[in-house]
Amino acid sequence: MEVFIAILILVAIIVIPNIKIVPQARAYVIERLGSYYATWQNGLHFKIPFVDRVAKIVSLKETVKDFAPQPVITKDNVTMQIDTVVYYQITDPKLYTYGVDAPVSAIENLTATTLRNIIGELELDQTLTSRDIINGKMRAILDEATDPWGIKVNRVEVKNILPPRDIQEAMEKQMRAERERREKILQAEGEKKSSILIAEGEKESAILRAEAQKESQIKIAEGEAEAILKLKEAEAKGIELLKNAKADSAVLTLKSFEALGKVADGQATKLIVPANLQDIATFGTTIAEAIKDKK
């Protein structure tokens, strides 16, 4: 009985450690008797004791590696520091395990040499303004070079570009001068627009004043013309009324006397007497006598 229990314990000690559960997004590379045997994906697996062994546990998640700044020389012989960030993913655990020794170090060295080659074909100004071009070229070269290692390079980003201090100071002075130039241009354009708007405003104001004066004079002239027209219409109506009333020369002479009386009642210092005043007086005497005989 004791021997049986001892055998069970021995079997448990041997069997239980050889039961493997592979988690999600992981892969186990298995060797049998020193040679590649299989790649276990997620799930429950059992390896033969003393025959199989787990050679490598590989993560299938996307990995981000931020590499230290590398000294590079541009086409115009400017030395600067550039650091990169590489996003990669293991697509073949077998190739990743047996394809290259120290894959991460290999990617770092490949990134540094590729970056030096690309920057060596660009001048300083192009390097500072061509991040997208540098990223695209590096990703394509690294992706192709890491295929035999079972690695897929998804993206490469140039993180920082650090020129020498004297060049940074020169660039800062240049940018400051450029900003001042743009500020002066904007200020001059603003003053120009302001002057134009003021001139246009004065022009429109003068036009409006002239139009208002013109309309005022037109209204005054129309009022005077209308007054003269009304006066002439009144005179015409008076004459027409006299005509319709069949006024004779006596009535007309009487009206002339009334008009003469009104003139005399005024404030004038001179009075012009008509040349035929004697005829008018004779006619007036005749009218008076006619009135007495009638009574």
Q: How many CB atoms lie within 10 A of CB 142?
A: 23
Strand partners, 80: 72
pLDDT-based confidence at residue 294 (cuts at 50, 70, 90): very low
Q: What pLDDT is attached to residue 195?
A: 87
For the stretch 59-114, pLDDT in tens is: 999 999 999 888 998 888 888 899 899 999 999 999 999 988 889 899 999 999 99
The answer to whether residues 78 and 164 touch, using CB atoms and an 8 Å cutoff, is yes
pLDDT above 50 for 290:
no
Those residues whose C-beta lies under 8 Å from the C-beta of residue 146, and which sit 6 or more positions away, are 88, 107, 110, 152, 153
Cα 28 to the chain's mean position, in Å?
54
List Cα–Cα distances, 186 to 193, 196, 200, in angstroms.
10, 15, 21
pTM exceeds 0.75 for this model: no
The 3-state DSSP class for residue 82 equals: strand
62-163 has which fold? Tetrahydropterin Synthase; Chain A (3.30.479)
Question: How high is the pLDDT of residue 291?
Answer: 44
Instruction: Show me where the domains of the chain are located.
Output: 2-59, 62-163, 247-295
